Chains A and B, each alone.
Chain A
Amino acid sequence: MLDRGGSSGASPIRVMRHLRQRRHGGVASGLLVILGLFTLVACTGGDAEFQHTVEMEDNFFTPEVTRIDVGDGVRFRNRGVVPHNAIDVGGSWSTGEAAGGDAADLMDPDEEVVVTFDEPGVYTYYCSIHAPDDGSAGMAATLVVGDVDLEDAADDAAADQVTEWTGVTRRVPEDHPTIQNAVDAADPGDLVLIAPAPETPEHLAADGRYAYREQVDVTTPSLTIRGTDRNAVIIDGEHERPIGINTVGADGVAVENLTVRNTTGNGIYWTGVTGYRGSYLTAYNNEIYGIYAFDSTDGLFEHSYASGSKDAGFYIGQCDPCDGVITDVIAEHNGMGYSGTNASDVYLIGSVWRHNVSGIVPNTLDSQRLPPFGRVTIAGNLIHDNDNREAPALGLQWSAFGNGVLLTGGMDTLVTRNRILDHERSGVTVGPNLSRNFWMSGGNVVTDNVIEGSGYADLILAGPALTGNCFAGNDPDRTVPAGLESVAACGPDATAGAHAEVVDPDRGAFRLPSRQHLAPTLSFVGLVAESEFGLQPDNDHRDAPVPPDQEPMPGGADAPVVPAVGVFAGFDLDLDAIEVPPSPDPTRGGEDADAGDADGDGAEVATGPGAPSRDRAVLVAGVPFGIGGFSTLYGVLGWLAPFALFAAWVALALIDLARREDLARPAVVAWTAGVLVLPFVGAPAYLLAGGAGLPRWLRWTAVVGATVVLAALLGAAAVIGGLL
């Protein structure tokens, strides 16, 4: 994060830092440094002068090319949900140094830095955790200062990928002292084979284990980077380096059979690639993401484990189609087990998602390209206990707390044949997501899951929603709205999911308009308020449990070497063969109960019939009581109270019409029609302007006074919750 104090010793430009944080607001302080030809100004309050803005999204700059005049200011603004920075490839400036810290210091979401450029030239800049330091790929962009020719400073020397192993093995540490050294020396198609770190002082990690204390940047395609021992080959970020293995723009790179831990960003990361594979990987206590593919297609995560990340253990983002598969993985103790922002055509198959803040959360955000997400297939997973208040999580992740599967603002996703147990909020929620745009969900199909032990409801359709969401065969104990499988049923031919052709899904013949409910949406707003108000548990990812040894890759060092080319096409996926996985509790799950400890976490399996479902929230017209004060408050003020007020208006209007003797029958009928048919405005219009016989003070108090009071209460609640 940004260093809040100090000053940079050298900078070729004038910089003005403007810090704007959601919770803390501006802070008045400033400093001035003049060095050589240039001036550095850093301040943390007031409005900085700038003529241009570069948005730092997740994970790209926009615009990609910015042209400015000499002397102009550029505001770098982080509009993403994860930290970023901007660093000149030539090293002449950075947002971190501008803010008075180191070049690689990161800007939190909502932070801004203004840089004023006094020297003409072409600057290629990059984000140090989302691009290589030559700015050749990933999160990089160009700034043209003055009337100069734009030259593409990116190094486009990446070699072509190959489809087969070259037969060359580069051994670490025998042939190369560091992994980075071996990767740099490798040609496309080589195997980089890593033995456990030597037991030397320079490899001694803080916990007494021996690890590679480096970040590995990969720009050569078709490499296979393999550990000889999944649990003993460790890359340790030491809570100082952003990424463990950072593959940027290099297609076809496979990473296998090793552990990455303790990074300040991502454990194992691919960005801007076609073809990637992560097999038998362990990623733990990496601050933001564990195993992560961004802006990448044709990939596979398999037989892997991720824990202790504030955002997500597994993440696939910004791709359409992604052609990505995640199968046979375990994610626990993360903010989210899976997050997939704007990721379409993804399969999440046969994995375990447990003890995270939330389980599987495909989502749509404007901070990344290609919104909305769509066509995700979630099948055959065991999803349980994703309401872990002791897991680390960012604020945005807290808003998803307590849900097994949460589809926010996406389309045509299939959730089928999963076992979803014991969540404080819901088993499956389909709902909207408010980013810069308001994204609603539609065409999602939720069928044939086993869902038990949900505190709020097993199934929720949170409104407003688009058309086509349907639910069938889940046998829920409670839904919001009530009777969801009746009012939003699926027909027998309903289809959705990855690569499904959803033209007109069969959603059944009988559908009522009460198929969605606003209270759950307001309940999510309540969680945002909890985070803003400081009620979110502040858990340090460094304190997340260290996982036990995980299953090693069959064959180990001698396994066949296969570059990650044509991964998706080569994956044998038989969706029809997928069944609901057995219960982790042998006393639950009926005919599946004999499978016992299905998720392998042993000691955490509860026993006894019916245990350990969550306490049921008391619902009043869909508003939950008992699962968070802000959720209840916003549900009451945002849903119950307005609804009751509207109902009172209609009742008052009809009573008044019944009392009036000055109106002819046609007029009464016409007013009744207006009161009922005109959405929300018919009744108040009659009361205020229809000549109602009720006392004027009563009519104005009921319509205007009550509305003002309700709006004031809502505003006050939003202020208290930090939403305004």
Chain B
Amino acid sequence: MGALQVVMGLYATVLPFAVLAAWIAVALWDLSRRVQAEEVGRGAAAGWAGVVLVVPVVGAAGYLLAGASLPRWLAATYVAGGLVAWLVVLAATSALGGAA
């Protein structure tokens, strides 16, 4: 196994967690911005933050797709793009012989 296979195998391992962390960060940043713009109240924002932080995976992705102020195409890019990116990395890693 070459170095590239090791790197790809490691990246395939960490990418889903990094994507989840990024979803959470984008969601919290969006909530913060909406509170400052007084688009949502603090209570609703706290509720959404709880969902984003506590409900695994679905919480952050659900907020981005259904609750965020981001353009829909951007939210879809982030959510679907994260999943697609993971699959692409998985496929590349498998092609290199590192994910079986």
Q: Do A and B come from one complex?
A: yes
Contact B13–A516 (Cβ < 8 Å): yes
* Tally of contact residues, B, Cβ under 8 A: 39
Scan A408-446; emit 1 where CB is below 8 A from any B CB, else 0: 000000000000000000000000000000001000000
* A507 close to B (CB within 8 Å): yes
A708 touches B (CB below 8 Å): no
Q: Given A646-B14, A680-B11, verify A513-B22 contact (CB < 8 Å).
A: no
> Is B81 touching A676 in the complex (CB atoms < 8 A)?
yes
In the bound assembly, the distance between CA atoms of A651 and B85 in angstroms comes to: 15
Cβ–Cβ < 8 Å partners of A511 in chain B: 99-100
Q: Which residue of the partner chain, among A514, A648, A653, A655, contacts B29 with CB atoms under 8 Å?
A: A655
Closest to B1 in A: A466
Residues of B within 8 A of A464 (CB): 1, 6, 9-10
* CB <8 Å contact, B100 and A673: no
| Segment of B36-44, B47-55, B69-77 engaged in the interface with chain A | B69-77
Which residue from chain B places its CB closest to the CB of A513 in the assembled complex?
Answer: B12
A650 contacts B21, C-beta separation under 8 Å = yes
B10 touches A463 (CB 8 A): yes
Q: How far is the CA of A516 from the CA of B99 in the complex (A)?
A: 10
Q: Of A648, A658, A669, which is in contact with the most chain B CB atoms at under 10 Å from its CB?
A: A658
Q: Are A668 and B77 in contact (CB under 8 A)?
A: yes
Q: Check: A654 CB closer than 8 A to any chain B CB.
A: yes
B59 on the A face (CB < 8 A): no
Bitwise, B59-93 to A at CB < 8 A (1) or not (0) is 00000000000100110011001100110111001
**Interface size bracket, A side:** 35 or more
Beta-carbon nearest neighbor of B29 in chain A: A655
Query: B29–A672 contact, CB under 8 A?
Result: no
Bound-state CA distance A573–B98 (Å) is 35
The reply to whether the CB of A679 lies closer than 8 angstroms to some CB of chain B is yes
List the B residue with the shortest CB-CB distance to A669: B77
The digit string for A666-696, where 1 denotes a CB below 8 A from any CB of B, is 0011001100110110000000000000000
* A291 within 8 A of partner (CB): no
Q: By the criterion CB–CB under 8 Å, are B22 and A651 in contact?
A: yes
CB of A145, distance to nearest CB on chain B (Å): 43
Q: Is the CB–CB distance between A676 and B98 below 8 Å?
A: no
- Determine if A643 is an interface residue (Cβ-Cβ < 8 Å): yes
CB of B16 to closest CB in A, whole Å: 7
Q: Which residue of chain A lies nearest to B98 when distances are taken between CB atoms in the complex?
A: A467
Chain A contacts with B in 502-548, Cβ cutoff 8 A: 507, 511, 513-518
Q: Does A96 contact B (CB under 8 A)?
A: no
Give A679 to B17 CA distance when docked, in angstroms.
14
Q: Residue A658 contacts which of B13, B70, B90 (CB distance < 8 angstroms)?
A: B70
Chain B residues with CB below 8 A from A669, complex form:
77, 81
Q: How far is the CA of A653 from the CA of B18 in the complex (A)?
A: 12
Are A651 and B25 neighbours in the complex by a CB distance under 8 Å?
Answer: yes
In whole angstroms, what is the CA distance A556 to B81 when docked? 75
A673 and B98 in contact, given A654-B22, A668-B77 (Cβ under 8 angstroms): no
A468 within 8 Å of B (CB atoms): yes
Contact status A654-B85, CB under 8 Å: no
Residue of B nearest to A657 (CB): B74
Asked if A647 is an interface residue, CB under 8 A from chain B, the answer is yes
Is A665 an interface residue, CB under 8 A from the partner?
A: yes
A648: chain B residues at CB < 8 Å are 21, 25
Chain B residue at smallest Cβ distance from A671:
B77
Q: Are B100 and A467 in contact (CB under 8 A)?
A: yes
Q: How far is the CB of A402 from chain B (nearest CB, A)?
A: 25
Tell me the complex Cα distance, A648–B17, Å: 11
Contacts of A652 in B (CB 8 A): 25
In the complex, how many angstroms separate the beta carbon of B89 from the nearest chain A beta carbon?
6
Residues of the A chain whose Cβ atoms lie less than 8 Å from the Cβ of B46: none
B7 at the A interface (CB under 8 A): yes
Given contacts A513-B93, A646-B18, contact A680 B7 (CB under 8 A): yes
Q: Is the CB of B22 within 8 A of A677?
A: no
Q: Which of A513, A647, A650, A673 is B13 in contact with, Cβ under 8 Å?
A: A513
* Nearest CB of chain B from residue A315's CB, rounded to whole Å: 28
| A485-B82 Cα distance, complex, nearest whole Å | 26
A677 lies within 8 A of B88 (CB): yes
Closest to B70 in A: A658
- A468 CA to B99 CA in the complex, in Å? 9
Given A646-B14, A658-B26, A665-B73, A507 contacting B100 (CB threshold 8 A): yes
- The CA-CA distance from A514 to B22 in the complex, in Å, is 18
Other-chain contact of A513, B7, B9, B24, B81 (Cβ < 8 Å): B9
Partner of A647, one of B8, B21, B29, B81: B21
Known contacts A468-B100, A513-B99; is-contact A647 B89 (Cβ 8 Å): no
Complex interface: chain B residues within 8 A of A440 (CB): 1, 6
| Chain A residues whose C-beta falls within 8 Å of the C-beta of B25 in the assembled complex | 648, 651-652, 654-655
A647 to chain B: which residues have CB within 8 Å?
17-18, 21-22
Q: Find chain B residues with CB under 8 A from A468 CB.
A: 100
Residues of A within 8 A of B (CB): 440, 463-468, 507, 511, 513-518, 643, 646-648, 650-655, 657-658, 665, 668-669, 672-673, 676-677, 679-680
Q: Write the residues of chain B forming the contact surface with A, with a CB cutoff of 8 angstroms.
A: 1, 6-19, 21-22, 24-26, 29-30, 70, 73-74, 77-78, 81-82, 85-86, 88-90, 93, 97-100
Other A-B contacts than A650-B18, A655-B25, A655-B26, 15 sampled, CB-CB below 8 A, are A440-B1, A465-B9, A467-B97, A514-B13, A516-B9, A518-B10, A646-B14, A646-B18, A653-B22, A665-B73, A668-B74, A668-B77, A673-B85, A676-B85, A679-B89
Can you list 27 pairs linking A and B with CB atoms under 8 Å apart?
A440-B1, A440-B6, A463-B9, A464-B6, A467-B97, A467-B98, A467-B100, A507-B100, A511-B100, A513-B12, A513-B90, A514-B13, A515-B13, A516-B13, A643-B17, A646-B14, A648-B25, A651-B24, A651-B25, A652-B25, A653-B22, A658-B26, A658-B74, A672-B81, A676-B82, A676-B86, A677-B88
